[in-house]
Every structure is written in C-alpha cells, then in structure tokens.
C-alpha cells in the first residue's frame, strides 16, 4: 500500500490519551524492577537497585540509562539534580 507524497496513512493521527511505545515500555520496565525487588525480598526498589549496582555496575548503568531521557537541556544556572527533579514532577 503506497501513499501520496505528504499524505499519512493515518490522517487523524494518534488517538488523544493513547500511550506511545516508549512510554509503555518504560512503564513495563519500572513494573518489572518493582516486581523483581519484591521477589528478591527487598522492601524498597532503591535497596534492590543498590544491590544490583554493587554486584554488577554495568548492568545497573544499562537499567538506569534506559530510564533516562535521551536528551536533557539545562539552563546555565540549573543543576543536574534540579533538572531530574523537574522531569520526575512532569511524569507524575
């Protein structure tokens, strides 16, 4: 099936309120980490991730990197911690 140049296969676009694949995957990853931490007997996800970091720092970095935005713009006077805090507020 081919479309005329400049015409979309879905002219109305994505349905309002639908979740894109990246957001859905991120939510599934967070759910999986929470489930794994409970199965491993940890009371908090932070302690579980800390144990992963101690045991295999490279695996921890891969997990953390997959949850971070691909691009982050900072104002000249903004700290990295403040930027991540603002991202966390937006996602809630």
Length of the chain: 92
The tens digit of pLDDT for each residue in 45-66 reads 888 888 888 999 898 888 778 7
pLDDT of residue 55: 92
Do residues 79 and 49 lie in contact, with contact meaning Cβ atoms separated by under 8 Å?
A: no
- Beta-carbon contacts of 56 under 8 Å, excluding residues fewer than 6 positions away, are none
Q: What angle do the packed helices 21-39 and 45-55 form, to 10 degrees?
A: 90
Question: How far is 17 from 20, CA to CA, in rounded Å?
Answer: 9
Residue 4, domain member (yes or no): no
Q: How many domains does the chain have?
A: 1
Do residues 9 and 3 lie in contact, with contact meaning Cβ atoms separated by under 8 Å?
A: yes
Residue 49, domain member (yes or no): yes
Residue 79, domain member (yes or no): yes
Residue 27, domain member (yes or no): yes
Residue 57's CB: how many other CB atoms inside 10 A? 10
Residue 1, domain member (yes or no): no
pLDDT of residue 91: 56
pLDDT of residue 90: 65
Residue 34, domain member (yes or no): yes
Residue 13, domain member (yes or no): no
For residue 80, the enclosing domain spans 21-91
List the pLDDT tens digit at each of the 92 positions of the chain.
Answer: 677 777 777 777 777 888 787 788 778 888 888 888 899 898 888 888 888 889 998 988 887 787 777 776 767 777 777 777 776 666 55
pLDDT of residue 27: 83
Residue 2, domain member (yes or no): no
């Amino acid at each position: 099936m081919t479309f005329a140049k400049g015409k979309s296969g879905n002219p109305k676009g994505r349905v309002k309120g639908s979740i894109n694949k990246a957001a859905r995957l991120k939510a599934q990853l967070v759910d999986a980490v929470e489930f794994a931490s409970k199965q491993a007997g940890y009371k908090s996800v932070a302690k579980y991730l800390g144990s992963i970091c101690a045991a295999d720092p490279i695996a921890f970095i891969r997990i953390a990197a997959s949850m971070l935005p691909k691009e982050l713009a900072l104002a000249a006077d903004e700290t990295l911690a403040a930027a991540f805090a603002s991202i966390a507020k937006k996602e809630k």
